[in-house]
Amino acid sequence: MVMFTKLKPQRTLSSCSNLKQVFPIRRKFSTIGTPLLNPTSSTQHHERISSSSFPLETELPSVDSLNYKPFPSTSSKPSEPKSVSHYLTDTFNRQHDYLRISITERCNLRCLYCMPEEGIELSPSTHLLTTEEIIRIAKLFVSQGVRKIRLTGGEPSVRRDLVDIVSSLHRIPGLDEICITSNGLALHRKLPKLAMNGLTALNLSLDTLVDGKFQMITRRNGLSAVLKSLETALKLGLPKVKLNVVVMSGVNEEEVLSFVQMTEDYPLEVRFIEYMPFGGNKWSGDKMVTYEDMLSNIQVVYPDIARLKHKPGDTAKVYQIPGFKGKIGFITSMTENFCSTCTRLRITSDGNLKVCLFERETCWIGRVGKHA
């Protein structure tokens, strides 16, 4: 049985509370953005977004024309409200009801802020969680109070049995949300089956709407494929669709307004993420754009933007512009950490339990399902 009585919030980011003093420069960016979801060359003149268009392969004149499909509840039976087990409650009284499971180390992109161009050394396949082990671990955690599971990677869509995993999770009584975080490159063909089998939320990583920048940031082609995944998710009417945008000074900060304007006609949440240091990503404070700077510049164009009520366990500070169908979030890991209210746990693809993304100490539970 996994015990959590000694877990404490990771202090790595808490030490960054004075980053405003370290990085005092306010970086103002242009209020002119690139065309909405319209891949362009990096040299093309930036134009203001047309809020009534969705210029992909298929024209979508308005969100009402997407013909959203109703979604069944995630579990086969409506879940009864259940308190989180003491095994998932730490000494700070944080109740960990959100589990992230990495189902692969592999990724089909090489994003500058995430992975070296040459990739990483992969673990032997025999060390990775099998489908059966993933489901057994999921059942164990749900039985103790987990209500939300997110499948991550690497890139989860490269795993051939992704649909089977989602389908099996969908049959676990008491599980309310099944989510995926993806780069969207190879996802759009799988999305209809994933939706049919219980997927309730999709987070797409997309840092630019400019084709040349996409190739520079990810070291791969494929912007149009990612946008196709976004279009498909909206057409399917997934209950929650979010875009994760890592904002970097001198790279994509001038596109923040372009992403904001996407929320005018479409019910998605665009989340701007402060650039964080990871091993090998050559992080520099000069590249980081703070939440405060992003928000103040958005307020120049949208002074009536308002913050929404914070929900328990939320990592984002969420805002909305009156009359807009979507929302805007900020992940402030560097300047205003949210360790004290974090309710998530992570299981790596080789079966190690982590309390925090930056946690060095782990607890190996890779075969716990076999002996539960």
Backbone CA torsion sign across 195, 196, 199, 200: positive
When mean pLDDT is compared across 40-49, 191-200, 201-210, 350-359, the lowest value belongs to 40-49
Higher pLDDT, 215 or 163: 163
CA dist 315 and 329 (Å) reads: 9
Q: What is the pLDDT of residue 116?
A: 59
The two structure tokens encoding residue 267:
């019910």
Chain centroid, CA 306 distance in Å:
22
Report the percentage of the chain scoring pLDDT > 70.
Answer: 66
pLDDT of 70 above 50: no
In terms of Cβ atoms closer than 10 Å to its own Cβ (0-12, 13-18, 19+), residue 245 is buried
Instruction: Quickly list DSSP for 165-219.
Output: HHHHHHTSTT--EEEEEE--TTTTTTHHHHHHTT--EEEEE---SBHHHHHHHHS
Question: 103 versus 128: which is more confidently predicted?
Answer: 103
> 48 pLDDT exceeds 50?
no
Q: Which of 31-35, 123-127, 345-349 has the highest mean pLDDT?
A: 345-349
Among 50-54, 119-123, 212-216, 328-332, the range with the most confident prediction by mean pLDDT is 328-332
Choose between 135 and 1: higher pLDDT: 135
Three-state DSSP class for 318?
strand
**In the prediction, which pLDDT does 158 show?**
84
Q: Which residues contact 361 (CB under 8 A, 6 or more apart)?
A: none
**Which pLDDT does position 123 carry in this prediction?**
63
303 by DSSP, 3-state: which? coil
126 CB-near residues (< 8 Å, 6+ apart): none
pTM of the predicted structure, to 2 decimals = 0.76
Average pLDDT over residues 209-219: 84
Task: Give the DSSP per-residue string, 32-44.
Answer: --PPTT--B-TTS
User: 320-354 burial by CB neighbour count: b if 16+ within 10 A, else e?
Assistant: bbeebebbbbbbbbbbbbbbeebbbbbbbbbbbbb
Reported as a single tens digit per residue, the pLDDT across 252-305 is 999 999 999 999 999 999 999 998 665 555 656 678 899 999 999 999 999 999
Per-residue model confidence (pLDDT) at position 97: 94
* Residue 256: predicted pLDDT: 97
The mean pLDDT of 4-12, rounded to a whole number, is 33
**What is the pLDDT at residue 56?**
36
Amino acid identity at 73: S
Query: What does the alpha-carbon distance between residue 170 and residue 228 come to, in Å, rounded to a whole number?
Result: 25
Most confident range, picked from 88-97, 136-145, 149-158:
136-145
pLDDT score at 245: 95
Q: Write the Ramachandran bin of 355: left for phi over 0, alpha for psi from -120 to 50, otherwise beta.
A: alpha
For the chain, the average pLDDT equals 76
Residues 87-110, mean pLDDT to the nearest whole number: 85
Give pLDDT, residue 99: 96
Q: Among the ranges 88-97, 244-253, 294-303, 361-370, which has the highest mean pLDDT value? A: 294-303
Instruction: Specify the pLDDT at position 81.
Output: 52
Taking only the tens place, the pLDDT of each residue in 300-356 is 999 999 999 988 778 899 999 999 999 999 999 878 877 778 888 999 888 889 887
The whole-number pLDDT of residue 121 equals 64
Average pLDDT of the segment spanning 173-181: 96
Rounded CA Rg of the chain: 20
Q: Is the pLDDT of residue 368 over 90?
A: no
Selected residue with higher pLDDT from 241 and 74: 241
Binned at pLDDT 50, 70 and 90, residue 179 comes out as: very high
Q: Which residue would you say has higher pLDDT here, 115 or 36? A: 115
- Which DSSP letter does residue 14 get? G
